[in-house]
Structure 1
Amino acid sequence: MYLKKHYKNLITHEIEEEFKKNDIPILDIGDSIKMSILIHEGNKQRIQNVEGVIIAKHKSQLSTTITVRKIVQNIGVERIYLIHSPLIKNIKIVRKAKVRRAKLYYLRLRSGKATRLKTKFN
């Protein structure tokens, strides 16, 4: 029984390594990031830049996701992105923040200057 599980894990690990991206920077909670995402509209493709703050991160090897929050026309917008998705072309860290929480869901209740995070300098 144990050997079957171990063998299955080896196979899935090999498959996941094939699709994993190696050029992703180390992302932490509270980082302000800028991402380039490939958007399909009909038969056309374009790259859209998205900028926001990482408020949550869920680690699960190939299906690792981040939740990015940004303010658009005074309305908070959150979106979950797969880090290893082929639609994400690049991720750039704009600013690192000093936070003491694993999830920054409290930012949903705040607006304006109250949503600012302390900058990490090292």
Structure 2
Amino acid sequence: MWPKTDADVPSFKAGDTITVSYKIVEGNKERVQSFRGVVIQIKGQGKTKMFTIRKISNGVGVERIFPLYSPHIEKIEVNKIGVVRRARIYYLRDLTGKKARIKEKRMTSSSEK
């Protein structure tokens, strides 16, 4: 399995935009494909924890469920930290366009004074 410990897994929550790179095996060929989208839920605990990512591809909403400790996952990157007030943001499924945007948490650097 790719993450040996929990320290290898980045911390993310519902509303964050992440990119998951995972291996796809087709016959004797193997390639890495990335899936970037918004986390709409995290469920389970321990080694059976799973998360669902939603993205819009060619105007169609696509959701994919990943096991967090899958051996096919190469890496997980957190691209944006979103600000939502729910643990499961299923309401995104009904929203389109600008209404489906999630506020981004802005980080301030301590060097700005």
Fold in common (TM above 0.5): yes
Q: Percent identity between the aligned chains?
A: 40
Is 1:53 matched with 2:38? yes
CA deviation string 1:47-88 (max 9, x = no partner): 001100000000320010000000011000011100110100
How high is the TM-score relative to the length of structure 2? 0.87
SS state of the match for residue 113, structure 1? helix
Give the distance between the partners of 2:63 and 2:69, measured in 1 at CA: 19
Give the distance between the partners of 2:5 and 2:66, measured in 1 at CA: 15
Residues 30/100 of structure 1: CA separation in 2 closer, same or farther (3 Å cut): same
SS state of the match for residue 8, structure 2? coil
- When Rg is computed on C-alpha atoms for both structures, the one with the higher figure is 1
Higher relative contact order (CA 8 A, sep 6+): 2
Structure 2 residue ranges without an equivalent (≥5): 108-113
Which consecutive segments of 4 or more residues in structure 1 shift more than 4 A? none
User: Which has more helix, going by share of residues?
Assistant: 1
How high is the TM-score relative to the length of structure 1? 0.81
CA shift, 1:20, in A, is: 5.1
Correspondence list, 1:1-122, <5 A = 22-122=7-107
Residue type at the aligned position of 2:44: K
Residue type at the aligned position of 2:50: T
Residue type at the aligned position of 1:23: D
SS state of the match for residue 85, structure 1? coil
Aligned length in residues: 105
Residue type at the aligned position of 1:107: L
